[in-house]
Chains A and B, each alone.
Chain A
Amino acid sequence: MWSFSHIANEIHEWLSKTFNPTLTLIIEMVIAGVAVIGLFAALGLVLVIMERKVSAWIQIRLGPNRVGSKGMLQSLADTLKLLVKEGLTPNGADKIMFNLAPFIAMIVAMLLMAPIAFAKDFQLWDLNIGVLYVSAVSSIMVISILMAGWSSNNKYSLMGAMRSGAQIVSYELSAGLSILSIVVLTGSLQVSDIIHSQANGWWIFKGHIPAWIAFVTFIIAVTAETNRAPFDLAEAESELTAGFHTEYSGMKFALFFLAEYVNVFIVCAIGATLFLGGWMPFHIGNWTAFNHVMDYIPSSVWFFGKTFFLIFVIMWFRWTFPRLRIDQLLNLEWKYLLPISMINLLLVTAMAILGWHF
Chain B
Amino acid sequence: MLEEVGTTTEGDLVINVGPQHPATHGVLHLVITLNGETIKKVEPHLGFIHRSIEKMCESLTYRQFIYVTSRMDYLSSHINNHACALCVEKGLQVEIPPRAQVIRVLMDELTRIASHELWWGAMAMDLGAFTPFFHAFREREGINDIMEETCGARLTMNYMVPGGVMQDLHPNFQKKVKEFLQLYKRKIHEYDELVTGNIIFQNRMKGIGYLSPEDAVSYGCSGPTARGSGVSSDIRKLYPYEIYDKLEFDEVLENGGDSFARYMIRIREMQQSVRIIEQLIDNIPEGDFQAKTKAVLKLPKGEFYTRVETARGELGVYIVSEGGTTPYRIKFRSPGFSNLSVLDHIARGSKLGDLVAMMGTLDLVIPDIDR
Seen from chain A, the residues whose Cβ lies within 8 Å of a Cβ on chain B are: 55, 58-61, 155-156, 159, 229-230, 232-233, 236-239, 241, 319-328
**A59, A233, A325: which has the most chain B beta carbons within 10 Å?**
A325
Known A55-B130, A159-B352, A230-B200; further 14 A-B contacts with Cβ < 8 A = A55-B131, A59-B133, A59-B134, A156-B15, A232-B128, A237-B22, A238-B23, A238-B126, A239-B353, A323-B129, A323-B353, A325-B353, A327-B37, A327-B351
B131 touches A324 (CB 8 A): no
A238 touches B125 (CB 8 A): yes
Q: Given A238-B23, A321-B200, A322-B124, answer yes or no on A58-B351 (Cβ-Cβ < 8 Å).
A: no
B13 touches A324 (CB 8 A): no
Query: How distant is the Cα of A155 from the Cα of B32 in the complex, in angstroms?
Result: 12
- Chain B residue at minimum C-beta to C-beta distance from A320: B131
Q: Given A60-B134, A155-B15, A238-B128, answer yes or no on A324-B351 (Cβ-Cβ < 8 Å).
A: no
B131 touches A323 (CB 8 A): no
B195 at the binding interface (Cβ < 8 Å): yes
Query: How distant is the Cα of A17 from the Cα of B272 in the complex, in angstroms?
Result: 82
B13 touches A322 (CB 8 A): no
A322 touches B198 (CB 8 A): yes
Query: How distant is the Cα of A325 from the Cα of B13 in the complex, in angstroms?
Result: 19
Query: How distant is the Cα of A159 from the Cα of B352 in the complex, in angstroms?
Result: 10
Q: Given A230-B200, A321-B129, answer yes or no on A60-B138 (Cβ-Cβ < 8 Å).
A: yes
B204 touches A322 (CB 8 A): yes
- Chain B residue at minimum C-beta to C-beta distance from A323: B128
Q: Given A238-B356, A322-B124, A322-B204, answer yes or no on A61-B134 (Cβ-Cβ < 8 Å).
A: yes
Tally A-B pairs: CB < 8 A: 83
Give the contacting residue for A325; candidates B134, B135, B204; CB below 8 A.
B204
B68 at the binding interface (Cβ < 8 Å): no
Seen from chain B, the residues whose Cβ lies within 8 Å of a Cβ on chain A are: 13, 15, 21-23, 37, 124-131, 133-135, 138, 194-195, 198, 200-201, 203-204, 351-356
The 3 closest A-B pairs by CB, nearest first: A323-B128, A322-B127, A59-B134
B128 touches A229 (CB 8 A): yes
What residues of chain A lie closer than 8 Å to B354, measured between beta carbons?
325
What residues of chain A lie closer than 8 Å to B131, measured between beta carbons?
55, 58-59, 319-320
B198 touches A321 (CB 8 A): yes
- Would you give 28 A-B contacts (Cβ < 8 Å), ordered by A? A59-B131, A59-B133, A59-B134, A60-B138, A61-B134, A159-B15, A229-B129, A236-B128, A236-B353, A238-B126, A239-B356, A319-B131, A320-B129, A320-B194, A322-B124, A322-B128, A322-B129, A322-B201, A322-B204, A323-B128, A323-B200, A323-B353, A324-B203, A324-B204, A325-B353, A327-B37, A328-B200, A328-B204
A322 touches B353 (CB 8 A): no
CB A3 to nearest CB in B, in angstroms, measures: 40
B22 touches A238 (CB 8 A): yes
Query: How distant is the Cα of A323 from the Cα of B194 in the complex, in angstroms?
Result: 13
Query: How distant is the Cα of A232 from the Cα of B129 in the complex, in angstroms?
Result: 11
CB A249 to nearest CB in B, in angstroms, measures: 16
CB A237 to nearest CB in B, in angstroms, measures: 5
Query: How distant is the Cα of A59 from the Cα of B130 in the complex, in angstroms?
Result: 8
CB A152 to nearest CB in B, in angstroms, measures: 14
Query: How distant is the Cα of A55 from the Cα of B130 in the complex, in angstroms?
Result: 9
CB A61 to nearest CB in B, in angstroms, measures: 6
Query: How distant is the Cα of A324 from the Cα of B199 in the complex, in angstroms?
Result: 10
- Chain B residue at minimum C-beta to C-beta distance from A327: B351
CB A228 to nearest CB in B, in angstroms, measures: 11
CB A309 to nearest CB in B, in angstroms, measures: 20
- Chain B residue at minimum C-beta to C-beta distance from A163: B37
CB A42 to nearest CB in B, in angstroms, measures: 26
CB B156 to nearest CB in A, in angstroms, measures: 25
**A229, A238, A320, A323: which has the most chain B beta carbons within 10 Å?**
A238
Q: Given A230-B200, A326-B37, answer yes or no on A319-B130 (Cβ-Cβ < 8 Å).
A: yes
What residues of chain A lie closer than 8 Å to B195, measured between beta carbons?
322
A328 touches B203 (CB 8 A): yes
CB A90 to nearest CB in B, in angstroms, measures: 16
Query: How distant is the Cα of A59 from the Cα of B131 in the complex, in angstroms?
Result: 5
Query: How distant is the Cα of A326 from the Cα of B203 in the complex, in angstroms?
Result: 12
Q: Given A61-B134, A237-B22, A322-B201, answer yes or no on A230-B353 (Cβ-Cβ < 8 Å).
A: no
B22 touches A230 (CB 8 A): no
Q: Given A238-B23, A239-B356, A319-B130, answer yes or no on A326-B351 (Cβ-Cβ < 8 Å).
A: yes
What residues of chain B lie closer than 8 Å to A230, measured between beta carbons?
128, 200
**A319, A322, A327: which has the most chain B beta carbons within 10 Å?**
A322
Query: How distant is the Cα of A159 from the Cα of B131 in the complex, in angstroms?
Result: 26
**B37, B129, B353: which has the most chain A beta carbons within 10 Å?**
B353
What residues of chain A lie closer than 8 Å to B194, measured between beta carbons?
320
**A59, A232, A241: which has the most chain B beta carbons within 10 Å?**
A59
Query: How distant is the Cα of A325 from the Cα of B22 in the complex, in angstroms?
Result: 17
CB B120 to nearest CB in A, in angstroms, measures: 12
Query: How distant is the Cα of A202 from the Cα of B106 in the complex, in angstroms?
Result: 60
A239 touches B23 (CB 8 A): yes
What residues of chain B lie closer than 8 Å to A319, measured between beta carbons?
129-131
Query: How distant is the Cα of A236 from the Cα of B23 in the complex, in angstroms?
Result: 10
Query: How distant is the Cα of A89 from the Cα of B174 in the complex, in angstroms?
Result: 58
CB B101 to nearest CB in A, in angstroms, measures: 37
A324 touches B200 (CB 8 A): yes
Query: How distant is the Cα of A322 from the Cα of B121 in the complex, in angstroms?
Result: 12
Query: How distant is the Cα of A58 from the Cα of B130 in the complex, in angstroms?
Result: 10
Query: How distant is the Cα of A323 from the Cα of B198 in the complex, in angstroms?
Result: 11
What residues of chain A lie closer than 8 Å to B15, measured between beta carbons?
155-156, 159
**A60, A230, A319, A321: which has the most chain B beta carbons within 10 Å?**
A321
CB A158 to nearest CB in B, in angstroms, measures: 8
Q: Given A59-B135, A320-B131, A323-B129, answer yes or no on A241-B200 (Cβ-Cβ < 8 Å).
A: no
CB B246 to nearest CB in A, in angstroms, measures: 38
Query: How distant is the Cα of A325 from the Cα of B135 in the complex, in angstroms?
Result: 24
CB B205 to nearest CB in A, in angstroms, measures: 9
CB B106 to nearest CB in A, in angstroms, measures: 27
What residues of chain A lie closer than 8 Å to B130, measured between beta carbons?
55, 59, 319
CB A54 to nearest CB in B, in angstroms, measures: 11
A325 touches B124 (CB 8 A): no
